[in-house]
Amino acid sequence: MFKYIRKFFLALNANAHPGDIAHAAALGLLLAFVPKANLLWVFLFFLTIFIRVNKGAFFITLIAFSFLVPFADVATEGLGYAILTLKPLGGVFAALYNTPFIGLTRFNNTMVMGGLAMGIIAYAPMYALARTFVTWYRKKLQPKIVNSKFAKVISNLPLIKQIIQAPDVGGFGR
């Protein structure tokens, strides 16, 4: 886990493309909305692992938003119910459910469908917000933090030194 935290801060402070970090944050939010006990979540997770995004930002946002998403459960379930009860899509949902392995995604569950829809709806605003934040951070905040006494004290703490010196084992997630 330290490796991903280190990679996130290295990317945030380095010349990494802001879009990589922003896509990772948006994908972390999308996956946080989808309940975890189904094939859809597993598929989206592995898809995210194999595309080029900042894995540190992905895992940090996935974990952080996983704690906040339960507060949106009522809205998520309502949206999922509204989508699943749309008359024009009834035949499509029936055909999908009868397709082998598609039923394992549990798309017919109101929380899964609502979470997927909420994640898709929130993707573009989260991407724009994260990209704006990275650009603002690099331009305005980073120079102030690097030159502060607080940053110098924090960088000498043993735990922070371990994170900074964490080895990049195996190269998985590059």
**Each residue's pLDDT tens digit, 52-77:** 888 888 999 999 999 999 999 999 99
Calpha distance 119→156 (Å, rounded): 39
pLDDT of residue 44: 92
**Residue 1 pLDDT > 60:** no
Distances, alpha carbon 124 to alpha carbons 12, 119, 161, in Å:
20, 9, 35
> Residues 5, 60: contact at Cβ < 8 Å?
yes
CA R_g for the chain: 19
pLDDT of residue 68: 92
Average pLDDT for the chain? 84
> Residues 29, 58: contact at Cβ < 8 Å?
no
pLDDT tens profile 130-173: 999 988 888 888 777 777 787 777 777 777 777 666 665 454 44
Calpha distance 83→119 (Å, rounded): 14
